[in-house]
Amino acid sequence: MECSSSQDISKPPSEIFPFLYAWENLPLWITEFKRFEPLTGEEGEIGSTSWVHLTYGSYSFKMKQEIINYVDDQTLDIIWSNSILQMHRSFDVTEEAAGQSKLQSQLVLMPRSFWGSLCLPFLAKTIRKYQIRNMERLKDALEVVIMS
């Protein structure tokens, strides 16, 4: 399952990226986010890993996060995985006009087990809805936090 969305943001890429991967900002735009536990590496570094605790409806679970690609102020690729599913999240920022950027996000969800294959068709609509909503929340959070 793939889902993508984009937002025009009235901030330059140099202000978007530090906000995007800082774990303390995740609750501002990912409503399902509950807690972050660093495991290895420095925050925002390629290869760094952590546990991300999430809640969808009445279900709580954790996913291992690994940053697999980072290009200063341009690209961030993250893998979230557990024994059932793997999510590859990509964020790309391009500078448009002075002080304006386009943030594009893509989410690719893949089953990692028989149970993941069974669940994926039921989860797809909900995950797409969350992806679009979270991107809108990200834009709002960037506007509020960076302006203050």
For 108-137, what is each residue's pLDDT tens digit?
989 999 988 988 888 878 888 888 888 888
The label of the residue with tokens 């605790």 reads: 53
Which residues in the chain belong to E strands, given as ranges? 2-9, 33-40, 49-56, 59-71, 75-81, 85-95, 101-111
Structural domain boundaries in the chain: 2-29+71-147
Longest dimension (CA), the chain: 49
Q: 108 phi and psi, to 5 degrees?
A: -120, 120
Return the pLDDT at 52: 92
Query: Residue 86 pairs with which residues in a beta bridge?
Result: 81, 110
**Secondary structure of the chain: what % helix, strand, coil (to 5)?**
35, 45, 20
Which CATH code fits 2-29+71-147? 3.30.530.20
Q: Does the pLDDT value for residue 147 go beyond 70?
A: no
CB atoms within 10 A of CB 65: 22
Return the pLDDT at 48: 94
Give the predicted TM-score (pTM) of the model.
Answer: 0.83
33-37, 47-51, 94-98: range with lowest mean pLDDT: 94-98
Q: What is the DSSP letter of 57?
A: T
